[in-house]
Amino acid sequence: MCAKKALGRGLSAIIDDVEEAYRQDIDDSSELVKEIDVDIISPNPYQPRSYFNEEALSELSESIKKHGLLQPIIVIKKGDKFMLIAGERRLRATKLAGKETIKAIIADIESKNLRELALIENIQREDLNPIELAISYKELIEEYSITQEGLSEIIHKSRTQITNTIRLLSLSEKTKQLLSNGKISQGHAKIIVGLNENEEESIVNTILGQKLSVRDTEQLVRKIKSSSKPREITKKPDETLQNGLKSLKIKLHEMGLKSKIGKNSITITLDEQVKIDNFFEKLL
């Protein structure tokens, strides 16, 4: 328990370091900020983001052309070059804008924290696609041996949101790719989690082919789950028991009593006191 708490505090401290760097009133004269040649900055190998929206990058690039880069990237020194820690979208957009240099904070961070910083910076500041976000959550949980509840407290996301996001990793590779590319929404994906492979493929094809809304998808999945429930097996009447009930019915009739045979039972009608008395006499 103590080890997990310590790791949790370490993770929280990393977040605080990044947040503090961005909270400071940074301007061109700040000692924290340097102007670095974009060509000598290498990417962080632990960057979880694998897909960058070209349209969004183009919009950010135009903003940088007009207003400059308002939020510096974070790098660490690597020999006579630098490695990017946080801000890959900003770096890509700056290059796209034709800029040769970029504002950067040169951090002094141990290499063992590079992976965590890349993951956290993306979780906190960028819109990762749902699958990339799920992978980031999963890696942080495994790296620090913390619970989803623990991660929730550290990154200030609800445990339910973390749980539902991680569950997306159980989808098929094809479905995860469609989700990553925006072909289906996270709302669609959450609904089909838990279906078997054939059902999942069928639903996804229907979503794409008929352009189903999330609500339509939910109704379709509910219908599939309902039809796939095992039906109750109706037991056949026991033949020996039925024969016995028939014999009993004859005896009761001879006693002047009305009776009715059910599936595996017999009902005797005693609608007069005298019949009840006679019945007890026979029993005794």
Q: Are 81 and 40 in contact (CB under 8 A)?
A: yes
C-alpha span between 180 and 132 (Å, rounded):
8
Q: Are 16 and 116 in contact (CB under 8 A)?
A: no
C-alpha span between 43 and 27 (Å, rounded):
24
Q: Are 191 and 142 in contact (CB under 8 A)?
A: no
**Tokens standing for 269?**
């009608």
State how far the alpha carbon of 89 is from the alpha carbons of 26, 60, 125, 159, in Å.
19, 8, 11, 28
The active-site residue, picked from 88, 121, 132, 200, is: 88
User: Residue 243: which residues within 8 A CB-CB, separation 6 or more?
Assistant: none
C-alpha span between 158 and 217 (Å, rounded):
25
Q: Which residue is listed with tokens 């974009």?
A: 38
88 is catalytic: yes
Task: Name the residues annotated as catalytic.
Answer: 88
